[in-house]
Every structure is written in structure tokens, then in C-alpha cells.
Amino acid sequence: MTPMPVPGAAALALPPLPLLRRYRDVRARTAALAAPLSPEDCALQSMPDASPVKWHLAHTAWFFETFVVAPRVPGYRPFDPAFRMLFNSYYHAVGERHPRPERGMLSRPSLDAVLAYRRHVDDAMRECCERARNDAALASLIELGLAHEEQHQELILTDVLHLLSRNPLAPAYDADGAPPAHAAREMRWIRYRAGLANIGHAGDGFAFDNEMPRHRVWLESFALASRPATNAEYAAFIDDGGYRRPELWLSLGWDAVTAQGWSAPLYWIHDADRWRSFTLHGVTDLDPNAPVAHISFFEADAYARWAGARLPTEFEWEAVAARGTDARAGDAWDAGAGLASALAHGDVWEWTSSSYAPYPGFRVAPGAVGEYNGKFMCNQYVLRGGSSATPPGHGRITYRNFFAPDARWQWSGVRLARDHAPSP
């Protein structure tokens, strides 16, 4: 089996941590996220867009086995040849796949068998991580696998939250914890003067192929909100009839509102004239100062229109975030210290108005790994930043997340933008 090239990933120097240690850390965090759950919790699938935790655990092992171990470890014996089909997500070049909406029907293999599968792959990966010390291309491929597993760590939390929300007992994933309280923050407008902006990954360190090539775009002057919209601000939109006013909505968005009966963000509960929310810690009072979360692109767009603003493009979002780390920006940057970090590592992913499309010069790499991102560049919108569920160190200013416009189960929110004429 010929090793698969890594799409868009340049050859990497050794990462700051020894690769084997980083591999173990990432794999251990995935196991820790599943630890509070019962085998029954791990087997269930609450909707076609979500996956059982057991499937996430198996698929992330499948990725390393399929693309790293099997092509490189002489005499490697798969844990179970049937897993090649059961836990293939969308890699057509690899072979058959179990239907995504039916992942929750896989009562077998057991959770214990899946955990044994992970240990089996981990044993073989020790050799691969050691070999990668002198093989930059292999190190790059392993880094891709680790970033892939970190994406699934976030999906474990989003999928578990949706799963538990469907249980009438409203069980908590973490009954001993509580959502962090947010202090009230003034919302200011960050001005950006018209000009060329460099967009995309610059080539230092790991990035997904959809973040490249780096290129220039022209931006007219605009202003970006200094923080995401809060629960209190979004509640004002609801109180003003936001979900009953078709003039605020895109046509497809209004169709979704009427067909799905939306009247508030996902997980909001109206209880005795107050809003509460279902969280990983159970049902809690809604924090008015926290960023509104679990809204679709359609809801973010309608809220922005109601607020007399609009959604930013992904290029506007990245340009402002990048200026926060650019000392040469001068008076074009008036956001204050720390915004770039907040933009890239916020409480919520932030919808943009940008369709998920290839950058100029983007090419899908040959082979199965080339299916990672490029084939999804249709009917999706880009989100930027990161959320409270994003693993530490996983985000970047250039990171391009993407979902369908009606997706609500992610920690997705909204940051306002508006056209802005520069001062004379």
C-alpha cells in the first residue's frame, strides 16, 4: 500500500513536544472525554449529523491505522478487518463505508472492543512516531492525524450534548461542574481601513490544506464588533418578534424556521418568564453576558439584519484578527491588546457570510487523504475562531471551520460587522 500524501501540509520540523509524547497526550484526552459516559451513552446516535462516542473513538484509531500504520509497519495485522468498512467516514478511495445515519445501530463491536482496538493501533504507532524523527513527511502525516483527532474531541462534546438533551431526565455530562460566569463587556466597533489583506496560512507549522495557499484580497473599509453577541442581546431579538418576522430572514432560513418550529437557540428553555439552557452541566440559568451559542447561519444572519448590521466575511474576520498581532498596523488597529487571541480562541465559533470555497490556487492532493476537506466545498458556510469545546492549542487565526447553514448543535454564535467609511 503506497503511503498517502498529506494535502497541503508542508514538511514539518519536529514539533515542540516529542511526537510520541504529543501522540499519547492527544489520544489520552480523547479517552478522558469518553470516561464519564456509560457504554450505553457511547453507543447512541441522536441524529444523522451526530455520531456515537464509540464511533468517534474507533474512527480516530481507524485514521492512524489506515493512513499511517498499515502502509509502513511490516507484518502489521489489523485488529479486525471488518473495522476498515465500519469506521470509514467518507473516504471513497479506501472502500465501502457503513451509512452515517446508521452508526448508532452498531451495538457491536462493544465499547471494550473499540478501546482494545485503540490500544492495538497505539502499540503500532510507537514505531511510526519514532521513525518520524527522521522522516518529515511522516511527521506531517501524523500531525494531520492528531489534528483530525482533536476535531473529533470537539465533536464528542457537541454530539454528547445533543444526545443528552434528548433524554427527558436531562442528565448532565459533568454534574459536578458549572458553566463559567461571564462579566459584562462593552461592545465597541473596530475599524479597518480599505486595503489589501494577506489571507491564509503563511507556511509555519501545521495547517489544514483548506487554509492555503496564502493570497491577497481587497477589503473595503468596515468595522467589526469587539466581541460576539450575548445571550441578553439575542433575547432582545426574540422579544422583538425576531422569529416571527419573515422580512429579517433569508428565504431558506424562513423555511427552516417554519418547518422546524424554531423560536430560540437550540437548548434554550423558557421557564416561568426566564430563559434557562441545557448544558453539559445540566439545565442552568442562562448567563446574559455569555456569547449566544447553538444558532444556525440563518439565525446569525437574521439577528445581524435586525441589529442593523451584517455578518463579516471570513476575510474581514481574519484581517482584523491578524492586525492584533501585527505591530506595523499602526493607527489602523484600535482594538486594544488581546483581541487576536480572543478572536482565535473564543467561547463560540463565529458564522461568517463566506461560502466555503477553495482559495485561489488550491489543489486537492491525490489519494484518499485528499478527500479530507476539498470535496465538502459546496453548500457550506465558514465559521472562524474557536469554542469552549475546541481543544487547547487547536485553533489558529487562519482556521476555517465549516457547516451547513441550518446546523445548530455546534457552539456557533455571531459577531457583527458593518460597512464603515473611514474618518477624514
Q: What is the pLDDT of residues 337-370, one digit of tens each?
A: 344 444 545 699 999 999 999 999 998 877 666 7
Using the predicted structure, report yes or no on whether residue 271 has a pLDDT greater than 80. Answer: yes
Best CA proximity match to 138, nearest among 422, 369, 331, 311:
369
- Phi, psi torsion values for 206, nearest 5 degrees: -75, 145
In the three-class reduction of DSSP (H, G, I as helix; E, B as strand; rest coil), residue 12 is classed as coil
Using the predicted structure, report yes or no on whether residue 16 has a pLDDT greater than 60. Answer: no
Chain-centre distance of CA 194, in angstroms? 30
Q: In this predicted structure, what is the pLDDT of residue 207? A: 92
In the three-class reduction of DSSP (H, G, I as helix; E, B as strand; rest coil), residue 402 is classed as strand
Does residue 210 lie within any of the structural domains?
yes
Q: In this predicted structure, what is the pLDDT of residue 17? A: 62
Q: In this predicted structure, what is the pLDDT of residue 15? A: 44
Does residue 8 lie within any of the structural domains?
no
Using the predicted structure, report yes or no on whether residue 74 has a pLDDT greater than 50. Answer: yes
Residue with the larger pLDDT of the pair 335 and 227: 227
Q: How many domains does the chain have?
A: 2
If asked whether residues 327 and 387 sit together in one domain, one would say: yes
Q: In this predicted structure, what is the pLDDT of residue 98? A: 97
Q: In this predicted structure, what is the pLDDT of residue 423? A: 53
If asked whether residues 266 and 161 sit together in one domain, one would say: no
Using the predicted structure, report yes or no on whether residue 372 has a pLDDT greater than 80. Answer: no
If asked whether residues 293 and 401 sit together in one domain, one would say: yes
Using the predicted structure, report yes or no on whether residue 217 has a pLDDT greater than 90. Answer: yes
- Phi, psi torsion values for 133, nearest 5 degrees: -60, -25
Q: In this predicted structure, what is the pLDDT of residue 178? A: 86
Residue with the larger pLDDT of the pair 243 and 365: 243
Using the predicted structure, report yes or no on whether residue 329 has a pLDDT greater than 90. Answer: no
Q: In this predicted structure, what is the pLDDT of residue 158? A: 98
Beta-strand pair 189-192/215-219: unpaired
- Beta carbons of 316 and 192 less than 8 angstroms apart: yes
If asked whether residues 205 and 307 sit together in one domain, one would say: yes
Does residue 252 lie within any of the structural domains?
no
If asked whether residues 280 and 355 sit together in one domain, one would say: yes
- In whole angstroms, what is the distance from residue 231 CA to residue 228 CA? 10
Span 261-265, average pLDDT: 98
Best CA proximity match to 94, nearest among 4, 8, 209, 155:
4
Chain-centre distance of CA 336, in angstroms? 26
Best CA proximity match to 173, nearest among 279, 280, 278:
280
Using the predicted structure, report yes or no on whether residue 204 has a pLDDT greater than 90. Answer: no
The three cell numbers of residue 159 are 454530539
Name the β-bridge partners of 403.
381
- In whole angstroms, what is the distance from residue 18 CA to residue 79 CA? 27
- Beta carbons of 116 and 79 less than 8 angstroms apart: yes
Q: Percent of the chain, pLDDT > 70?
A: 88
Span 230-244, average pLDDT: 98
If asked whether residues 116 and 208 sit together in one domain, one would say: no
Using the predicted structure, report yes or no on whether residue 325 has a pLDDT greater than 90. Answer: no
If asked whether residues 138 and 209 sit together in one domain, one would say: no
Using the predicted structure, report yes or no on whether residue 300 has a pLDDT greater than 90. Answer: yes
In the three-class reduction of DSSP (H, G, I as helix; E, B as strand; rest coil), residue 199 is classed as strand
Using the predicted structure, report yes or no on whether residue 327 has a pLDDT greater than 90. Answer: no
If asked whether residues 81 and 219 sit together in one domain, one would say: no
Q: In this predicted structure, what is the pLDDT of residue 257? A: 98
Q: In this predicted structure, what is the pLDDT of residue 404? A: 97
> What are the C-alpha distances in Å from 412 to residues 276, 340, 383?
18, 18, 8
With a CB cutoff of 8 Å and minimum separation 6, the contacts of 221 are 191, 192, 193, 194, 419, 420, 421, 422
Ranges of H-type helices in 107-250: 111-131, 136-165, 231-239
Asked whether the CA dihedral 8, 10, 11, 13 is positive or negative, the reply is negative
If asked whether residues 109 and 217 sit together in one domain, one would say: no
Does residue 350 lie within any of the structural domains?
yes
The confidence band for 297, taking pLDDT boundaries of 50, 70 and 90, is: very high
* Torsion on CA atoms 261, 266, 267, 269, rounded to nearest 10: -40
If asked whether residues 201 and 347 sit together in one domain, one would say: yes
- In whole angstroms, what is the distance from residue 190 CA to residue 344 CA? 16
If asked whether residues 336 and 399 sit together in one domain, one would say: yes
- Beta carbons of 225 and 206 less than 8 angstroms apart: no
The range of the structural domain enclosing residue 327 comes to: 189-230+257-419
If asked whether residues 124 and 195 sit together in one domain, one would say: no
The confidence band for 421, taking pLDDT boundaries of 50, 70 and 90, is: low
Does residue 297 lie within any of the structural domains?
yes
Does residue 81 lie within any of the structural domains?
yes
- In whole angstroms, what is the distance from residue 322 CA to residue 384 CA? 13
